[in-house]
Amino acid sequence: MTRFSIKRIINQVGETLTLEDITLVSVSDRGDPTLSTSAKTIDGYVDEMAGDEEIVEEGLLEQGDIIVFVDEEEKNVAYLKIGNKFVRNSKNYEIKNVIHNPGHYEVHCKRK
């Protein structure tokens, strides 16, 4: 039985994305947050939602949102956190859900 390999797919048709790690630095007396952002790169396979996928029909994602598949051995997987952002083709996508599957992560992102 052949094991599914996201690494092979990423090597063939994947892309390098910018991953913005957003960290809360402080909160003012009025409750306004001060955020720090640092950019990382990460390789992954991107599936852009066309609108007819089951996950779109269920209302979890919308047309134009993306799912990014990342190998679990990728160097910056620790930054795959809800609230962080991917930048792809000058568009921002906020991470809404991270699912750790055997061998890879499935990252659901909403277009901002």
- Phi and psi (nearest 5°) for 51? 120, -20
Q: Please answer whether residues 22 and 83 qualify as being in contact, where contact means their C-beta atoms are separated by less than 8 angstroms.
A: yes
For residue 81, the model assigns a pLDDT of: 97
The C-alpha atoms of residue 17 and residue 100 are separated, in whole angstroms, by 19
Domain that holds residue 46: 6-111
Domain count, the chain: 1
Does residue 44 sit within a domain?
A: yes
What pLDDT sits at residue 27?
A: 93
CATH of the domain at 59: 2.40.10.270
- Residue 75 one-letter amino acid: K
Residue 1 within a domain: no
Please indicate, yes or no, if residue 42 is contained in any of the structural domains: yes
Q: Is 19 part of any domain?
A: yes
pTM assigned to the model: 0.88
User: Looking at residue 1, what is its pLDDT?
Assistant: 47
| Residue 26 located in a structural domain | yes
Token output for 99 = 């699912």
Q: List average pLDDT for each run of 10 residues in the chain, which is 112 residues long.
A: 77 96 93 93 95 84 95 96 96 97 95 93
